[in-house]
Amino acid sequence: MRGGPTQATVAKSSRPQCKDTLRIMDMSISMMRSDPHDRGSGKTLVSLAHGKPEWAAGLRQIYDGVVREPLPESVRALLARLDKG
Amino acid sequence: MRLIDQTSDRPDFKRDLIAVVPHLRAFARGMCGKPDLADDLVQETLLKAWAAQDRFEPGTNMRAWTFIILRNAYLTEMRRNRFRGDYDQDFAERTLVAPAGQEGPVHLADLHRALLSLPAERREALLLVGAGGFSYEEAAEICGCAVGTIKSRVGRARASLTAMLEDGKLPGNRVADAGAYGSIMQELDEVSHRTRK
């Protein structure tokens, strides 16, 4: 990353530090090359495969969370227009 | 563009296009940060894909094809100073929480913020390979670069995120954070910053 990571630190708060927080996540899925169709429910986190960073499951969780969201009305309306031809 | 009058005799195309919409939203959200801007981008992508359906070869990868369209639309909007990977903290705090049953809060908001601080090229590479499930070859096709370039971008993105998250050195969410601001602005050299404040 150009310029390197910033030197700003997480503000002290009642929240645990990122490193400790991420270690709470007990994960064991192959993050970077997993089957795109094998999403699972996203509710249960399992141990990380060797070599995968701890945040990798979080990245998938963020992505899958959006995939599972209901489509907003604006998008549904557009699809309906397209579907009607 | 007269979409209302334009019919399609390719029901499979419509079905497959609708199926990729959630993934388009996820990719756009990862790139833009803000849900409303991301959905604008997705709608633009759908319109363009619909208009170009004759150029889509049945049986090929619809998801990759539409991701290319979305990426190009994103780059265009970036050049127009519209999408700048803004981090919507309020939205993130409301939505990026761990499912019930976890031992403690998983601060995905921190991860999201770190992700958005990456240069766009590395962020998209990481999203495509690390979250979207694309192979390096597919991601290279989407990004219009060599496979080796994608691998390099993914590797650098991983290293940057790991350094930020494990060391607790996250970019701030305010412009006053010179480091984060500089990182984002460096990617957007050609974009005017004067309207930011």
Beta-carbon separation of A68 and B39 below 8 A: no
Residue among A24, A66, A72 minimizing CB distance to B102 = A24
Task: Tell me the pLDDT band of B172, cut-offs 50, 70 and 90.
Answer: low
Residue B83: how many CA atoms within 13 Å on its side-chain side? 28
CA nearest to B5 within chain A: A85
Query: What is the per-residue pLDDT for A15?
Result: 47
Residues 6+ positions from A46 with CB-CB distance below 8 Å? A26, A27, A28, A29
pLDDT above 90 covers a percentage of chain A that reads 25
Task: Tell me the pLDDT band of A41, cut-offs 50, 70 and 90.
Answer: very low
Do residues B116 and B35 make contact, with C-beta atoms less than 8 angstroms apart?
no
Residue numbers in A near B179 (CB within 8 A): 3, 5-8
**What is the average per-residue pLDDT within B71-93?**
71
Beta-carbon separation of A82 and B14 below 8 A: yes
Residue among B4, B103, B160 minimizing CB distance to A24 = B103
Do residues B125 and B153 make contact, with C-beta atoms less than 8 angstroms apart?
yes
Task: Tell me the pLDDT band of B89, cut-offs 50, 70 and 90.
Answer: low
Q: Rounded to whole angstroms, how far apart are CA atoms A51 and B30?
A: 24
Burial of residue B51 (CB within 10 Å: 0-12, 13-18, 19+) is middle
CA nearest to A45 within chain B: B102
More confident residue, A17 or B66: B66
Beta-carbon separation of A59 and B95 below 8 A: no
| pLDDT reading at B6 higher than 70 | no
Residue among A4, A21, A55 minimizing CB distance to B105 = A21
Q: Rounded to whole angstroms, how far apart are CA atoms B78 and B81?
A: 5
* Predicted confidence (pLDDT) per residue in B25-40, tens digit: 999 999 998 899 999 9
Torsion angle, alpha carbons of B165, B168, B171, B177, to 10: -170
In Å, how far is B187's CA from the nearest CA of chain A?
A: 9
Beta-carbon separation of A2 and B14 below 8 A: no
Task: Tell me the pLDDT band of B4, cut-offs 50, 70 and 90.
Answer: very low
| pLDDT reading at A14 higher than 60 | no
Residues 6+ positions from B14 with CB-CB distance below 8 Å? A82, A83, B8
Of residues B157, B163, B102, the one with CA closest to residue B125? B157
State the best of B16, B152, B166 to mutate against chain A, taking most chain A CBs within 10 Å. Answer: B166
In Å, how far is A13's CA from the nearest CA of chain B?
A: 13
Residue B150: how many CA atoms within 13 Å on its side-chain side? 21
Of residues B62, B57, B53, B58, the one with CA closest to residue B6? B53
ipTM: 0.74
In Å, how far is B43's CA from the nearest CA of chain A?
A: 6
Tokens of B183: 């990182």
| DSSP single-letter state for residue A43 | S
* Predicted confidence (pLDDT) per residue in B96-110, tens digit: 544 444 433 447 888
Vertex A39, ends A34 and A42: CA angle to 5°? 120
* Predicted confidence (pLDDT) per residue in B123-169, tens digit: 999 999 999 999 999 999 999 999 999 999 999 999 999 888 877 77
Q: Can you tell me which residue has the tokens 């007269």? A: B2
Do residues B175 and B197 make contact, with C-beta atoms less than 8 angstroms apart?
yes
CA nearest to B29 within chain A: A66
Query: What is the per-residue pLDDT for A1?
Result: 43
Q: φ and ψ at B179, to 5 degrees?
A: -65, -50
In Å, how far is B104's CA from the nearest CA of chain A?
A: 7
Q: Is the pTM of this model over 0.90?
A: no
CA nearest to A12 within chain B: B168
| DSSP single-letter state for residue B54 | G
Residues 6+ positions from B119 with CB-CB distance below 8 Å? A1, A2, B183, B186, B187
C-alpha distances in angstroms, B67 versus A57, B25, B32, B87, B172?
A: 22, 10, 14, 21, 29
Beta-carbon separation of A5 and B163 below 8 A: yes
Vertex A79, ends B87 and B128: CA angle to 5°? 45
More confident residue, A6 or B70: B70
Q: Rounded to whole angstroms, how far apart are CA atoms B184 and B197?
A: 15
* Predicted confidence (pLDDT) per residue in B110-128, tens digit: 898 899 999 999 999 999 9
